[in-house]
Amino acid sequence: MKKIIIYGSQYGTTKRYAEKLSELTGISVMSYEKIKDLSAYDEIIHFGGLYAGGVKGLKNTIKALPQNAQLIIVTVGLSDVTNTNNTDHIKKSIHQQVPQPILDRTKILHLRGGIDYSKLNFMHKTMMSLVYKKAKNTPEEEKTAEVRDMIETYNQKVDFTDFDSLQQVIEVI
C-alpha cells in the first residue's frame, strides 16, 4: 500500500506530529497546500489542526482523494482527547465535513496539541476572545468539558503535545 502523510497546520503543532510520524514510519509528508495529485496513493493520513470544529486542510485532501483510497483523519486540538464527550463532538463535526461514501473508508483519531495566545494572528485572537466571553457567561452546569478546557487555558501558552500518542496512529496504519 502506498501511503502519504498530509498536514494542515497554522501554528506548527500539527506539523510537528505529522513530521514525527513520518520520521518514525518512513512515510513521506507534505502540507495540504502542496497537494497536486494523490492518484499514486491508496492510503492517505491527514493530520489537521482543529479550528472551530473544522479540520485544517481536510477539504483539499478530500477533493484530491483517489477513489477507493483509505483515509485516516488525525485531529489535533486543544481539548482533552481522553474525554469521550470531546472526541464524540469532534467526530460529529467531521461527519458534517466528509461525504458518507468517504466516511465509510475513513478512520478518525484524536491527538492533543497546544496553543500560544501570544502567537495568534489578529483574527484568531479576536475569535478566541469572543468564544471566551461567551463561555464565561455560560451557566456552570451547561459548560461542556471542551468549554472548560478553553477557559482554563485562555491567554496562556500550553503544550500537550505527546509523541507517544502517535503509537495509536502507527497501529492503525
Residues that bind ligand FMN (CB under 6 A): 9-15, 49-53, 76-79, 113-115, 120, 124, 127-128
Nine-digit cell string for 102: 468517504
Contacts of 29 (CB under 8 A, 6+ apart): 4, 5, 6, 7, 18, 19, 21, 22
Shortest Å, Cβ 57 to ligand FMN: 10
Residue number, 45 or 69, with CB nearest to ligand FMN = 45
Shortest Å, Cβ 9 to ligand FMN: 3
Shortest Å, Cβ 169 to ligand FMN: 15
Closest CA to 150 of 68, 77, 71, 74: 77
Residue number, 40 or 123, with CB nearest to ligand FMN = 123
Shortest Å, Cβ 17 to ligand FMN: 8
**Is the Cα dihedral 55, 60, 63, 69 positive or negative?**
negative
Residue number, 32 or 70, with CB nearest to ligand FMN = 32
Check: CB of residue 169 under 8 Å from CB of residue 74.
yes
Report how far Cα 46 is from the mean position of its chain's Cα atoms: 8
Residue number, 24 or 147, with CB nearest to ligand FMN = 147
